Amino acid sequence: MSKTNPVAASSKAKAAEADAKDADTKAASAGKDAPNPEAFLSVRDLRIHFDTDDGLVRSVDGVSFDLETGKTLGIVGESGSGKSVTSLGILGLHRSKRARISGEVWLDGEELISADPDRVRQLRGEKMSMIFQDPLTAMHPYYTVGAQIVEAYRVHHPQASKKAARGVAVEMLDRVGIPQPDRRVDDYPHQFSGGMRQRAMIAMSLVNNPKLLIADEPTTALDVTVQAQILDLIRDLQKEFGSAVIIITHDLGVVAELSDDILVMYGGKCVEKGTSETIFTAPEHPYTWGLLGSMPRMDRELQDRLIPVKGSPPSLINLPKGCAFNPRCPYAELTGGKSTTETPQLIEVKPGHRVACHLPEEKRHSIFRDEIAPRL
Ligand SMILES: Nc1ncnc2c1ncn2[C@@H]1O[C@H](COP(=O)(O)OP(=O)(O)OP(=O)(O)O)[C@@H](O)[C@H]1O
């Protein structure tokens, strides 16, 4: 074998270099492992880049995760970290000429990135559905709420009569807590309050009983009391329908009680992933510490309770070299220079807990224990 293998035939130094490259390749493809057959949704090395006049925008750059039926995944990160593009990519809504998409999205055993667009369209609504941030942009102003739910239902149940579909619409409005649903079904979206519109959109998203529901900032536009009601509603409906749910938010507080797992995104990449409990009690990435520190707490003085992440999110066209978070990381100088030269890989530190950070593990533990945890 060594006769035909140029690497083995070369000097020891070359062999060592090749080994190092191999290790790099293995680490880089750590997220590219086979899809998890147990998971209803299995995303592998998803990349969504856009050609723009200013350059290539790497909105999503190698994201992988699994989601089982009945479970909730929270995707958190600041504005522009790639959360929405990830979800639109799963739903097949980024198939424009300017978008370059690669990786795999397995939904209930079917791969969607390479699938026929007509098939993906069919799966949208039937097996996967989305609740958008602003129901007014997702709902048509000229049609009644009921007509839009009926339409969503009949696309996937063409044999259903109009009367039967209207009955389903009234029932769905009732289930999401719209009072007098048999009357309100004929209202237009603008006749509903913000919270009611959000409920109506949830009804529309769930009318075909999708097994995957993606909620993108479902409560951002609502006041605090209504926010809590909508989150409760999503939780109850998830139990009732047994769906897998992805909640996208910039606010860790929103996913605190709702999510089984949390994926933290920064600059188009996953920087930390773990169970909700791990992310709240033993987070290891300095960016996650910043997000936790930015959560408002009623029991602290204002100056004590907010430790915002300093600086602004990076440009996705020109990400900082090395670790994209390094210009904002208060601990970057403790990485021995690695933070500005090497991209950290997402490494499993404990079963189910992955972190992409150059800080030595013991250092991360001690900083969290001594500096961060006492302030949270
Ligand atoms: N069609 C597109 N063409 C070019 N760039 C895009 C396109 N869609 C999104 N982007 C860019 O991709 C990046 C990630 O956007 P995305 O909407 O996923 O962020 P986000 O984390 O969901 O933020 P927000 O909470 O503000 O919605 C942004 O910089 C955005 O400008």
- By CB atoms closer than 10 A (0-12, 13-18, 19+), residue 59 is buried
Q: Tell me, in angstroms, the distance from the centre of ligand 1 to residue 243's CA.
A: 26
Spatial distance between the Cα atoms of 95 and 97, rounded to a whole number of angstroms: 7
Q: Of 82-91, 94-103, 146-155, 158-167, where does mean pLDDT reach its minimum?
A: 94-103
Residue 265 pLDDT > 70:
yes
Spatial distance between the Cα atoms of 128 and 317, rounded to a whole number of angstroms: 31
pLDDT score at 14: 42
Q: Of 13-17, 169-173, 175-179, where does mean pLDDT reach its minimum?
A: 13-17
- Centre a 10 Å sphere on the Cβ of residue 133 and count the other Cβ atoms it contains: 19
Whose tokens are 């209803």? That residue is 40
Report the pLDDT averaged over residues 69-96. Answer: 91
Nearest atom in ligand 1 to 96's CA: 1
Residue 101 pLDDT > 90:
yes
The strand ranges marked E within the chain are 41-52, 55-67, 72-76, 99-107, 110-111, 128-131, 212-216, 244-249, 261-266, 269-275, 347-350, 353-355
pLDDT category of residue 301 using cuts at 50, 70 and 90:
low
* Ligand 1 contact via 77 beta carbon (within 6 Å): yes
Nearest atom in ligand 1 to 88's CA: 18
Count of alpha carbons within 13 angstroms of residue 196, beta-carbon side: 16
What residue's CA is closest to ligand 1, atom 4?
A: 50
pTM summary value: 0.86
Q: Which of 47, 85, 318 to mutate to test the pocket of ligand 1 (most atoms within 8 A of CB)?
A: 85
What residue's CA is closest to ligand 1, atom 3?
A: 50
Nearest to 135 by CA among 179, 176, 80: 176
Report the pLDDT averaged over residues 166-172. Answer: 94
